[in-house]
C-alpha cells in the first residue's frame, strides 16, 4: 500500500459544551491534518453546536434511533476517509495520536488501532485518579494479546468496520458498545492492537458513587452479552480489559456467603472464624500488582485508598452480575 491513508475523525456529542472546544482544538493541533472532522449532533440542547461551528468541521444531525452507537454509525456513513477515527467530545488527543493510529494501520497491518489513556488526570480527587490509572493499567497489561476496543480514541479500517455492521444501535448510552464491537471485530478475524502512542486525556471526573455506578452498568451489559451468546465466546477470549486476577477476586463475596451458610458442624465455627477474616486480604493479594502500580505513580496513600476502592468495586460488579442476569431473564436482552 502506497501513500498515507486518509482519516475521517468522528465525534459524537450530546450536550458536550463544557469540553467540545478543547476536543476540537486538540484534533486540529494534531501533527497531521485529518481528511475531515465530523461532529455528530446527538440531540444537543446546550451550546455545543455553536461552539463546534467555530471550527472547520462538518456538523450533522444523528437522526434515526438516537444514542451514541447510532450517532457513530451515522458519522461513519457520512464520512469518506479510508480510516475511521472515533473519539469523544470529552477527550483530548495528544498531538501525535492521529499519526500513530494511521501508521499502525498502515505499517503493522492492523484493522483496529486502540488508543491508550494518558496517566495524566485533570481531576486530582482520589477516585478520578484511581479510575484513570485503572484504564491505563488494564490496557497496558493486555498489550500482548488484544481484542479490546476503547471508543474514546480508536482508529478502524473502514472495510473492517463496515464488514461487521458498525456499532450495535441497541446501545443508546455509552456503556459496552465499544467492547461489543471489539468482540465482533476480533471474531471476524480483524487484527486489533494497542497503540501506546495513540494517547489521549479523558476529561472525566469520578466520585465513588459515579465510579461504582459506571462499573455496575458495564457489568450489567457484559453479562447480557454473554447470556445472549450462551457464554460460548467467553471461553475463547476475554473481550474486556479486566485482569483475570480481579475477576477471581470477585468470587470472594460468594465464598463468604458459602462459609456463612455452611451446615453447622463441630469444626464449622472454627473454619469460619479462620477463613472469613482472610478473604479481604486474599482480595488485596490478588490485586497486588494493581495496587503496586498505583503506589509507583501516585504514592502509598492513594494505594491504600485503592485497596478500599477495589473491595467496593467488587461489590458493584457482583451486583451488576445479579441485576444483568435478572433483567435478561425477564426479557430485557440489552
For 145-203, the pLDDT digits (tens) are: 677 888 899 999 999 999 999 999 988 888 889 989 998 998 899 999 999 999 999 99
Q: What are phi and psi of 148, to 5 degrees?
A: -110, 135
Query: How many Å apart are CA 303 and CA 310, to the nearest integer?
Result: 10
**So what's the pLDDT on residue 319?**
97
According to the model, what pLDDT value does residue 273 have?
A: 76
Please tell me the distance from the alpha carbon of residue 38 to that of residue 58, in angstroms, as a whole number. 5
Whether residue 133 is found in the same domain as residue 25: yes
Whole-structure pTM value? 0.91
Is residue 1 over pLDDT 50? no
What pLDDT score was predicted for residue 98?
Answer: 97
Residue 93: inside a domain, yes or no? yes
Q: Name the packing angle between helices 278-286 and 300-329 (round to 10°).
A: 100
Is residue 314 situated within a structural domain?
Answer: yes
pLDDT tens-digit profile of 99-118? 999 999 999 889 999 999 99
Q: What's the mean pLDDT in 195-213?
A: 96
The residue among 205, 229, 253 that closes a domain is 205
> How is residue 293 written as a grid cell?
502500580
Q: Mean pLDDT over residues 255-268, rounded?
A: 72
The rounded distance, in Å, linking the Cα atoms of 303 and 101 is 33
Q: Which of 181, 205, 229 is a domain's end point?
A: 205
268 belongs to a structural domain: yes
> Which strands sit side by side in the sheet containing 91-93, from one edge to the other?
58-61, 36-41, 7-13, 83-87, 153-157, 112-117, 192-202, 91-93
Range of the domain at 264: 207-334
The answer to whether position 2 is within a domain reads: no
Q: How many domains does the chain have?
A: 2
Top-confidence residue, 234 or 173: 173
Same domain, 75 and 121: yes
Same-domain status, 134 and 241: no
Statement: residue 232 has pLDDT above 70: no
Q: Which residue has the higher pLDDT, 317 or 171?
A: 317
Q: Are residues 246 and 316 in the same domain?
A: yes
Residue 1 counted as domain residue: no
For residue 98, being part of any structural domain is answered with yes
Residue 100 lies in a domain: yes
Amino acid at each position: 500500500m502506497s501513500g498515507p491513508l486518509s482519516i475521517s475523525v468522528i465525534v459524537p456529542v450530546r450536550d458536550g459544551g463544557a469540553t467540545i472546544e478543547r476536543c476540537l482544538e486538540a484534533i486540529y493541533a494534531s501533527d497531521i491534518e485529518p481528511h475531515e472532522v465530523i461532529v455528530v449532533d446527538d440531540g444537543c440542547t446546550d451550546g455545543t453546536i455553536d461552539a463546534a461551528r467555530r471550527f472547520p468541521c462538518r456538523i450533522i444531525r444523528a437522526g434515526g434511533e438516537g444514542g451514541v452507537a447510532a450517532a457513530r454509525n451515522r458519522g461513519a456513513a457520512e464520512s469518506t476517509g479510508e480510516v475511521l477515527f472515533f473519539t469523544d467530545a470529552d477527550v483530548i488527543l495528544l498531538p501525535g495520536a492521529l499519526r500513530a493510529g494511521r501508521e499502525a494501520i498502515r505499517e503493522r497491518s492492523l484493522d483496529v488501532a486502540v488508543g491508550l489513556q494518558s496517566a495524566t488526570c485533570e481531576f486530582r480527587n482520589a477516585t478520578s485518579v484511581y479510575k484513570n490509572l485503572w484504564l491505563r493499567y488494564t490496557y497496558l497489561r493486555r498489550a500482548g494479546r488484544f481484542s479490546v476496543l476503547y471508543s474514546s480514541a480508536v482508529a478502524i479500517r473502514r472495510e473492517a468496520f463496515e464488514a461487521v455492521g458498525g456499532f450495535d444501535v441497541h446501545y443508546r448510552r455509552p456503556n459496552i458498545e465499544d467492547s461489543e464491537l471489539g468482540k465482533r471485530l476480533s471474531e471476524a478475524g480483524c487484527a486489533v492492537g494497542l497503540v501506546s502512542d495513540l494517547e489521549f486525556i479523558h476529561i472525566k471526573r469520578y466520585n465513588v458513587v459515579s465510579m461504582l455506578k459506571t462499573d455496575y452498568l458495564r457489568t450489567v451489559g457484559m453479562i447480557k452479552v454473554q447470556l445472549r451468546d450462551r457464554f460460548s465466546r467467553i471461553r475463547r477470549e476475554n473481550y474486556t480489559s479486566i485482569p483475570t486476577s480481579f475477576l477471581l477476586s470477585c468470587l470472594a463475596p460468594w465464598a463468604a456467603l458459602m462459609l456463612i451458610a455452611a451446615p453447622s458442624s463441630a469444626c464449622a465455627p472454627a473454619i469460619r472464624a479462620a477463613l472469613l477474616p482472610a478473604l479481604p486480604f486474599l482480595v488485596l493479594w490478588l490485586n497486588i500488582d494493581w495496587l503496586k502500580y498505583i503506589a509507583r505513580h501516585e504514592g502509598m496513600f492513594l494505594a491504600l485508598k485503592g485497596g478500599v476502592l477495589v473491595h467496593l468495586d467488587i461489590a458493584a460488579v457482583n451486583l451488576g452480575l445479579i441485576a444483568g442476569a435478572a433483567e435478561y431473564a425477564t426479557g430485557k436482552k440489552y
